[in-house]
Structure formats: structure tokens, C-alpha cells
């Protein structure tokens, strides 16, 4: 791979995006199939259909420890949540890889700009939910 060639960088970044979305889709489909298998097709369709007056998953634990224990038990909603997390992480990983690609080709300006974008992304994902009074 020639890092001086913009086509090489585009190919790497494009692959990251394609595979991230593909992996996310596979995880979500597996979780949905697990939901259908666990609750029967009629009950699962009721769980998947949006109804603002009813929470289909009840008191599902959305904490990190709840996610991990749900994944260990192969709970359908935990698998679907993991797929959503992978989907959200895909563009963030694209920015992270871009920082390294710009560093490898020696383009310091774009590396710094991309690193600032990465810091802003991570701040918005990881810190802003804990700011008192902040509601997104």
C-alpha cells in the first residue's frame, strides 16, 4: 500500500466503514433472530413494533455490566445493543485510522486536524452524557 496515493487511503477508510456496517448488521440480525426464537414470531413482532405506550424489553439493564452479562447469556436485546454500539463506533474508528494514516504519510496538518475531530467525537460520546442538566 502506497500511503502517498490518496486512493490507498480511501480504500482503507472505505473498507473500515464497509466492514463496520456489515459486522453491525450481522450482530443485529443475529440478535433479532434470537429474539424471534426466544419469544415466538407473533410475540417478537409485537416486541419489534414501535409502541410509545409500551416498553417491549421491560426493565432491560443498559449499563456496561448489564450489557456484558447479557452478552454472556446471549440475550437478544444485548446482542442488538452491541450491534448498535458497533455501528456507532464505525465512524469513530474511521477517524482514528485516518489519524494514523495521515501520520504515516507525514501530513502533520491533517493529522492534527483529524486528531482534534477525534477528541471532539470522543468527548461528545463519552463525557457529555454526564454533564448535569445536559439532555440530548
Single out the residue of 10, 17, 37 nearest to residue 86, CA to CA.
17
- The mean pLDDT of 24-50, rounded to a whole number, is 78
Q: Is there a domain that residue 122 lies in?
A: yes
Asked whether residue 136 is assigned to any structural domain, the reply reads no
**Who contacts 71 (Cβ-Cβ below 8 Å, separation ≥6)?**
78, 79, 82
Whether residue 25 is contained in a domain is answered as yes
What pLDDT does residue 4 have?
64
Q: Which of 30-34, 35-39, 111-115 has the lowest average pLDDT?
A: 35-39
Which pLDDT tens digit goes with each residue over 53-88?
Answer: 665 556 667 778 888 998 999 888 899 999 999 999
pLDDT score at 65: 86
Q: Does some domain include residue 135?
A: no
Grid coordinates standing for 65? 455490566
Indicate the DSSP class of residue 128: G
Give the residue numbers spanning the domain of 20: 6-130
Going by C-alpha positions, the residue among 108, 100, 87, 118 that lies closest to residue 13 is 100
pLDDT for the residue numbered 130:
80
Average pLDDT, the chain: 83
CB contact at 8 A, 59 and 7: no
Whether 23 has a pLDDT exceeding 80, the answer reads yes
**CA distances (Å), 51 to each of 12, 33, 39, 45, 55, in order?**
41, 20, 18, 11, 8
Query: By mean pLDDT, which of 9-13, 98-102, 117-121 is the weakest?
Result: 9-13
Asked whether the CA dihedral 2, 4, 8, 9 is positive or negative, the reply is positive
Residue 21 confidence class, pLDDT cut points 50, 70, 90 = very high
Domain count, the chain: 1
Q: Is residue 35 part of a domain?
A: yes
Residues 31, 13: Cα–Cα separation, whole Å: 27
Amino acid at each position: 500500500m502506497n500511503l502517498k496515493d490518496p486512493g490507498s487511503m480511501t480504500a482503507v477508510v472505505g473498507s473500515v466503514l464497509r466492514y463496520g456496517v456489515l459486522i453491525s448488521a450481522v450482530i443485529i440480525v443475529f440478535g433479532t433472530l434470537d429474539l424471534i426464537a426466544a419469544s415466538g414470531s407473533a410475540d417478537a413482532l409485537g416486541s419489534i413494533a414501535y409502541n410509545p405506550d409500551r416498553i417491549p424489553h421491560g426493565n432491560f439493564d443498559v449499563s456496561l455490566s448489564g450489557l456484558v452479562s447479557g452478552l454472556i447469556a446471549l440475550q437478544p436485546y444485548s446482542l442488538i445493543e452491541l450491534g448498535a454500539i458497533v455501528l456507532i463506533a464505525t465512524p469513530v474508528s474511521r477517524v482514528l485510522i485516518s489519524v494514523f494514516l495521515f501520520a504515516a504519510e507525514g501530513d502533520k496538518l491533517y493529522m492534527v486536524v483529524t486528531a482534534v475531530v477525534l477528541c471532539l467525537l470522543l468527548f461528545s460520546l463519552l463525557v457529555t452524557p454526564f454533564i448535569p442538566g445536559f439532555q440530548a
